[in-house]
Amino acid sequence: MGFRRGYFKHEPGAPQPLSAVAGRRVRFEEVDALGMVWHGRYPGFLEDARAEFGRKYGLSYAMFREQGMAAPIVQMQIDYRLPLHYDDEFTIEAVLHWCDALKLNFEYFLKRPVGSGEELVATACTVQLLTDHNANLMLTETGFIREFREKWRKGALHA
């Protein structure tokens, strides 16, 4: 866990972050003329990890839609460290940090295998607000979000 950059501060007494990992391989269409992944592809990689997180913890985009909710991204930061190239295998870890407000603070770690270890190629973070389908900001926990947060508070969700 030596890769932690610290986009979000862990508050004392807050539940531990939750994480999920998605595996990928760079496709030909994702590289530029230099053979490196074009920087504009990275938001899609983050989405792959968020989708995997949603499957693992029951916080999928389908659930949001079924509940009449949305979770639009209002902030994104990507810090590129090393380039990915065509056919590179890599993983994207999505880490959700607790926030008392109704928003999703995700931190990401993109890593590729090197020898017997791995190297960090990029870090990122996104902030998503919870809204209804009319883009009205949600201020109180309801439905499956309340259930998810209660389980997380009680330690019933495991990373």
Interval 1-33: pLDDT, tens: 344 568 998 888 899 999 999 999 999 999 999
Number of Cβ atoms within 10 Å of the Cβ of 118: 14
The predicted-structure confidence for 128-142, as pLDDT tens digits, reads as follows 999 998 999 998 888
Radius of gyration of the chain (CA): 16
The pLDDT of residue 50 is above 50: yes
Inter-residue contact 15 to 158 (CB < 8 Å)? no
pLDDT of 143 reads 84
The pLDDT of residue 71 is above 90: yes
* Spatial distance between the Cα atoms of 126 and 137, rounded to a whole number of angstroms: 17
pLDDT of 127 reads 96
Domain ranges of the chain: 18-154
The predicted-structure confidence for 89-98, as pLDDT tens digits, reads as follows 999 999 999 9
pLDDT of 61 reads 87
Cβ neighbours of residue 83 under 8 Å, at least 6 residues apart? 36, 37, 121
pLDDT of 3 reads 43
Dmax over CA atoms of the chain, in Å, equals: 50
DSSP symbol at 41: G
pLDDT of 5 reads 60
Domain boundaries 18-154, CATH class = alpha beta
Mean of pLDDT over the chain: 92
The vertex-53 CA angle with 43 and 30, nearest 5°, equals 30
